[in-house]
Amino acid sequence: MKKKQKIIVLGAGLVGGVIAADLNRRFNVTSADIDQDVLLKVEKEGVDVIITDLSDPENIRKIVQPFDLVVGAMPGYMGFQTVKAVIEAGKNIVDISFFPEDPFQLHQLANEKNVTAIVDCGVAPGMGNIILGYHDASMKVSSYQCYVGGLPFKRKWPFEYKAVFSPVDVIEEYTRPARFVLHGQVVTREALSDPELIYFDEIGTLEAWNSDGLRTLIDTMDIPDMIEKTLRYPGTINYLRMLRECGFFSDEPVEIAGNKIKPLDLTAKLLKDIWKLKPGEEDYTIMRITISGIKEDKKKELVYDLYDRYDIQNQTISMARTTGFTCAAAANLVLEGLYTAPGISPPEYVGRIPDCFEFIMKYLANRGVNYNLSVIE
């Protein structure tokens, strides 16, 4: 029997749709989007739908009023204004949009409104933060490494890549300067820097490079060495660097035949269909988190490995499962009153609470998303 609490999911794309369907098992869920086609898919899962323009903050403030919780699954460039509008409306929110702005800019507002706002609550950022937060609360962590990627199972020339998020969001990962912590100092290098090859038993060798995935961990964690790297098939970095250096990822307008266009807009438009996962195409998510430190006066190295594949039975892509179910778990925490901290909460804050950490891990495992832990002493 469903609980009476009402949830609205803003954004009904590949990930937002999975979140809505999952939460609809226990709660009354409504999905909102301007795209009628994506809403038809979630409607088939028994989710109520609203066709509306989510680019208007005033519209968001109005439509969220009848709901007990809001889930944000918008493109990154719309994420910050969406979270801000929801907080202004006085509604709790769990968000996965990975927006470039500093979420703590909204901390005072959320406190004033007594709103709980969990941000960056996906797989990475998201689960990496949750796992680190949990262990940082019980040991002296000296090093954190996260290698993560979502890839098509079948490699297809030329890109050997498919995107489940907006192409603009993906491209930003290739242009946004990468920050990491080295010997206690924040270091900034260009995206795609420091490439290395990493071997995984399940799929072989992948290529890793610096990306700006640490996010809030840089400010919330006192750990001398922290880094996140993105994983792709070997050779990917070469064509990405070429496209970037030739200006295809630039948002500076150029004039062509009297018209000014942003190369980034054109590139994203061209790549949208090429990068889109077609029905039945399988993907996987791979992640390796290594946490080193001291616990009870002993050196410990904790290694979490995730390898998740496309769910054939439910026809659900892996990146939507690993991202969406993490978000859905956090939504349950808020609605059940297990996490009630007002203000902006990055996932590491949630992970610090043992009951919350265990709830999320169990929630994911029940859906076949398993983080396998190895301990080296």
CA distance linking residue 91 with residue 116, whole number of Å: 8
Domain-embedded: residue 375: no
Owner of token pair 């062509």:
256
Whether 118 and 133 share a structural domain: no
Whether 159 and 247 share a structural domain: yes
Q: What is the pLDDT at residue 218?
A: 97
Whether 241 and 331 share a structural domain: no
Domain-embedded: residue 185: yes
List Cβ neighbours of 3 (8 Å cut-off, separation of 6 or more). Answer: 26, 27, 28, 335
Whether 140 and 251 share a structural domain: yes
Q: What is the pLDDT at residue 168?
A: 85
Whether 116 and 166 share a structural domain: no
Whether 37 and 177 share a structural domain: no
Angle at 336 between CA 331 and CA 339, to 5 degrees: 70
Whether 113 and 192 share a structural domain: no
3-state secondary structure of 151: strand
Q: What does the DSSP assignment read for 17-86? A: HHHHHHHTTTSEEEEEES-HHHHHHHHTTT-EEEE--TT-HHHHHHHTTT-SEEEE---HHHHHHHHHHH
The candidate with the shortest Cα–Cα distance to 248, out of 274, 268, 273, 272, is 268
User: Is the full-model pTM beyond 0.85?
Assistant: yes
Domain-embedded: residue 219: yes
Domain-embedded: residue 215: yes
Q: What number of other Cβ atoms are within 10 A of residue 109's Cβ?
A: 16
Domain-embedded: residue 362: yes
List Cβ neighbours of 353 (8 Å cut-off, separation of 6 or more). Answer: 338, 339
**Tally of domains in the chain:** 2
Q: Tell me which of 258, 282, 309 is where a domain ends.
A: 309
Owner of token pair 């009630």:
340
Q: Is the C-alpha dihedral spanning 265, 268, 271, 276 positive or negative?
A: negative
- Tens of each residue's pLDDT in the chain, 377 residues: 778 899 999 999 989 999 999 999 999 999 999 999 999 999 999 999 999 999 999 999 999 999 999 999 999 999 999 999 999 999 999 999 989 899 999 999 999 999 999 999 999 999 999 999 999 999 999 999 999 999 999 999 889 999 877 788 889 889 999 999 999 999 999 999 999 999 999 999 999 999 999 999 999 999 999 999 999 999 999 999 999 999 999 999 999 999 999 999 999 999 988 998 888 899 999 999 999 999 999 999 999 999 999 999 989 999 999 999 999 999 999 999 999 999 999 999 999 999 999 999 999 999 999 999 999 88
Whether 112 and 194 share a structural domain: no
List Cβ neighbours of 85 (8 Å cut-off, separation of 6 or more). Answer: 57, 58, 60, 61, 64
Whether 116 and 136 share a structural domain: no
Q: Tell me which of 265, 284, 309 is where a domain ends.
A: 309
Whether 244 and 360 share a structural domain: no
CA distance linking residue 225 with residue 209, whole number of Å: 16
Whether 18 and 115 share a structural domain: yes
Whether 199 and 348 share a structural domain: no
Q: What is the pLDDT at residue 377?
A: 80
Domain-embedded: residue 70: yes
The CATH number of the domain holding residue 96 is 3.40.50.720
- The range of the structural domain enclosing residue 89 comes to 6-122+322-370
Residues 91/342, Cβ–Cβ less than 8 Å: no
Domain-embedded: residue 316: no
**What does DSSP say about strands 178-182 and 185-189: parallel, antiparallel, or unpaired?**
antiparallel
Domain-embedded: residue 271: yes
Q: Tell me which of 278, 309, 340 is where a domain ends.
A: 309
Angle at 217 between CA 216 and CA 218, to 5 degrees: 90
